[in-house]
């Protein structure tokens, strides 16, 4: 991400040079490469009664030239009234008194090297960064009964989508001011976070926030999930001392293994993550080693650590939109509506029914309707499945079928190197630990060698989805050879089997990726498909044989 910032953070003279070079290279075709459309500076000049001060700033920074040349820009143009307010707040009387470096920053924070229309003004950060190197955030606010877009919770957009030859101009009623305070200063100066800030001091983790990215680009941005005093008060915690007594188990919070240190580290996320970034993630890494925060959304609400565990939904912690996306020079701050703490869990078996997908559940005429089947060719239709080439088919076996699948349904995939090269599923939540991984399937019509990967790590045992269950072997002997039954009935069938593909160390409690890759290319068409039913992650030190499953999805214990 730092490289992207660097690419965007161009000095005006560099941009002028690029335009000069582009002009000279294309001078033989000048009629074809120029346009009579008015550009950004033309627009400002035509409306100089509102923008004379802004034109003066562009001239003093020598940026008027390239803003009137070819390009794709979005310019948030503050009016004369807006600039006069800014001058007053900054203790300047005229533009001439403002240092040129400050004026350069002024231009950069208002300028995006991309065309962003009002359709991009979603509730959160804009998709492209300013030339200053900070993102802008947008929302909608009511003023005198009228709805306005608002930039950085301050500047109202009074005129939108003025489309010109080299981009767009949006007029604003306040100057956008770059954020100069770092995360440590923002939290220190906000009385809502006095307990949380004291915890950052005591653990020493404040040092992770007390730097300036513009001065040290080797350090990554940081995202803070902050808890207000009111959240702690609701838990009966009214001071740092009480929080210390609740969490610190060593008496020295600066120790990385102290519980308070780990608790505060769990609130620090490496990287710059606005709400718009968080909602597209399934989990977030933290400063506490091997501990992640899971992410879900419920309508407009972002929920952290709302996980389904052992069949129960654990309520998540919401993020307050009104107090989140708080900008800092080296990151951003989000406000939590509850206490976010590390959940101590023991490794637990996960019996992953791959055909249980949220998108399929919405197709009520298809999902688990016996005798129904549908082919899918577009992976983007699914949030938890991806594949390369060909198609996958969801099937719910008819009641007359002699096949045995959990809930009667499965995916049929022509997994071979000339058709579907690989297919990947997102697992349910898995607690960190060591697990044996079992692939449960009904054999295909031909032998087909397949590799399994978990989180891009290859498991040691290839499997052949054309294999039968080894008839005649005692169950403990079959298990020793990497086979087991996963269906409760029939007891002697060999077409449905479960194959051990290896043991994996799950290092973070979260969802994970399991991928199946075609190694060979045995032909056979529809008769030679990977009929995958389940993937089981069972703690390595627990019983691998039981429980088993019935066709109706119920669990059968020994």
Residue-wise pLDDT tens digits, 330-365 = 999 999 999 999 987 788 888 999 999 989 988 988
- Does residue 468 form part of some domain? yes
Cα 282 to the center of its chain, rounded Å: 6
pLDDT, tens only, 107-126:
999 999 999 999 999 878 89
SS (H, E, C) 174-239: CCCCCCCCCHHHHHHCCHHHHHHHHHHHHHCHHHHCCCCCCCCCCCCCEEEEEECHHHHHHCCCCC
- Give me the pLDDT at residue 417, please: 86
- Give me the pLDDT at residue 362, please: 86
pLDDT band at 34 (very low <50, low <70, confident <90, very high): very low
Same domain, 154 and 201: no
- Does residue 178 form part of some domain? no
Answer yes or no: is pLDDT of 19 > 50: no
Same domain, 72 and 126: yes
Same domain, 254 and 356: no
Over residues 46-52, mean pLDDT:
97
- Does residue 310 form part of some domain? yes
- Does residue 328 form part of some domain? yes
- Give me the pLDDT at residue 391, please: 95
Which of 314, 336, 358 is a domain's end point? 336
CATH number at residue 540: 2.60.120.260
3-state class percentages of the chain: helix first, strand second, coil last, to nearest 5: 25, 30, 45
In percent, the amount of the chain with pLDDT more than 70 equals 92
Over residues 24-49, mean pLDDT:
65
pLDDT, tens only, 66-92:
898 888 999 999 999 999 999 999 999
Same domain, 373 and 289: no
**Would you state the torsion angle of the CA atoms of residues 30, 36, 42, 43, taken in this order, to the nearest 10 degrees?**
-140
Answer yes or no: is pLDDT of 251 > 90: yes
- Give me the pLDDT at residue 123, please: 76
Which of 151, 172, 193 is a domain's end point? 172
Q: Where are the alpha helices (DSSP H) in 90-168?
A: 100-109
- Give me the pLDDT at residue 527, please: 59
**What are the distances in angstroms from CA 411 to CA 490, 495, 529, 548?**
21, 16, 9, 20
Over residues 376-387, mean pLDDT:
95
Same domain, 368 and 460: yes
- Give me the pLDDT at residue 462, please: 93
Report the domain count for the chain: 3
Q: Which domain range does residue 205 map to? A: 183-336
- Does residue 344 form part of some domain? no
Same domain, 323 and 355: no
Mean pLDDT score across all residues of the chain: 88
pLDDT, tens only, 423-469:
999 998 888 899 999 999 998 867 788 999 999 999 999 999 888 89
pLDDT, tens only, 152-198:
999 999 999 999 999 999 999 999 999 999 999 999 999 999 999 99
Same domain, 100 and 199: no
- Does residue 343 form part of some domain? no
Which of 336, 358, 383 is a domain's end point? 336
Same domain, 28 and 107: yes
Same domain, 196 and 283: yes
How far is the C-alpha of 87 from the C-alpha of 81, rounded, in Å? Answer: 10
Same domain, 296 and 315: yes
More confident residue, 368 or 289: 368
Please say whether the beta carbons of 352 and 325 come within 8 A: no
- Does residue 52 form part of some domain? yes
Over residues 199-217, mean pLDDT:
95
Same domain, 240 and 122: no
The DSSP string of 450-495 is EEEEETTEEPS--EETTPPP-TT--HHHHHHTTEE--BSS-TT--S
- Does residue 234 form part of some domain? yes
- Give me the pLDDT at residue 36, please: 53
CATH number at residue 300: 2.30.180.10
- Give me the pLDDT at residue 525, please: 58
pLDDT band at 294 (very low <50, low <70, confident <90, very high): confident
Same domain, 427 and 502: yes
How far is the C-alpha of 321 from the C-alpha of 2, rounded, in Å? Answer: 26
Enter the pTM of the model: 0.67
């Amino acid at each position: 991400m730092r490289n992207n910032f660097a690419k965007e953070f161009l000095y005006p003279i560099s941009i002028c040079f690029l335009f000069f070079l582009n002009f000279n290279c294309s001078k033989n075709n000048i009629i074809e490469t120029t346009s009579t459309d008015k550009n950004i500076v033309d627009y400002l000049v035509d409306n100089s009664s509102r923008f004379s001060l802004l034109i003066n700033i562009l001239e003093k920074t020598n940026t008027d030239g390239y803003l009137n040349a070819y390009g794709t820009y979005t310019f948030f143009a503050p009016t004369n009234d807006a600039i006069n307010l800014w001058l007053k707040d900054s203790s300047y009387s005229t533009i001439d008194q403002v240092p040129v470096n400050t004026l350069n920053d002024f231009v950069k924070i208002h300028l995006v090297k991309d065309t962003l229309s009002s359709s991009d003004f979603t509730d959160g950060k804009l998709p492209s960064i300013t030339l200053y190197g900070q993102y802008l955030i947008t929302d909608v606010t009511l003023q005198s009964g009228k709805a306005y877009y608002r930039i950085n919770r301050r500047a109202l957009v009074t005129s939108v989508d003025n489309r010109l030859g080299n981009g767009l101009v949006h007029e604003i009623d306040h100057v956008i001011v770059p954020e100069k305070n770092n995360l440590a200063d923002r939290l220190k100066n906000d009385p809502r976070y006095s307990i949380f800030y004291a915890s950052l001091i005591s653990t020493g983790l404040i040092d992770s926030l007390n730097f300036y990215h513009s001065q040290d680009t080797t350090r990554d941005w940081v995202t803070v999930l902050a808890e207000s005093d009111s959240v702690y008060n609701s838990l009966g915690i009214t001071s740092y001392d009480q929080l210390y007594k609740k969490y610190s188990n060593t008496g020295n919070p600066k120790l990385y293994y102290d519980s308070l240190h780990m608790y505060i580290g769990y609130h620090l996320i490496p990287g710059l993550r606005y709400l718009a970034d968080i909602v597209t993630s399934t989990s977030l890494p933290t400063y506490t080693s091997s501990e992640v925060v899971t992410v879900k959304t419920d309508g407009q609400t972002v929920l952290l650590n709302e996980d389904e565990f052992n069949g129960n939904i654990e309520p998540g912690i919401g993020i307050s939109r009104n107090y989140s996306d708080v900008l800092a020079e080296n990151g951003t701050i989000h406000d939590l509506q509850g206490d976010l703490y590390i959940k101590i869990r023991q490794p637990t078996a996960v019996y992953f029914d791959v055909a249980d997908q949220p998108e399929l559940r919405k197709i009520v005429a298809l999902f688990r309707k016996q005798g129904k089947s549908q082919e899918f060719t577009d992976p983007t239709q699914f949030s938890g499945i991806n594949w390369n080439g060909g198609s996958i088919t969801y099937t719910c076996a008819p009641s007359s079928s002699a096949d045995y699948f959990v809930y009667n349904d499965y995916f049929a995939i022509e997994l071979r190197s000339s058709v579907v090269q690989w297919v990947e599923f997102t697992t349910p939540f898995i607690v960190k630990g060591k697990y044996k991984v079992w692939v449960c399937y009904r054999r295909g019509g031909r032998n087909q060698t397949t590799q399994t990967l978990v989180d891009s790590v290859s498991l040691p045992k290839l499997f052949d989805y054309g294999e039968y269950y080894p008839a005649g072997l005692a169950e403990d002997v079959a298990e020793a050879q990497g086979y087991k039954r996963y269906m409760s009935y029939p007891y002697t069938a060999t077409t449905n089997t479960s194959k051990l593909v290896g043991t994996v160390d799950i290092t973070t409690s979260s969802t994970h990726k399991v991928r199946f890759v075609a190694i060979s290319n045995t032909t056979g068409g529809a008769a030679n498909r990977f009929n995958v039913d389940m993937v089981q992650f069972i703690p390595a030190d627990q019983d691998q044989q039981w429980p088993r499953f019935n066709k109706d999805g119920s669990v059968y214990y020994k």
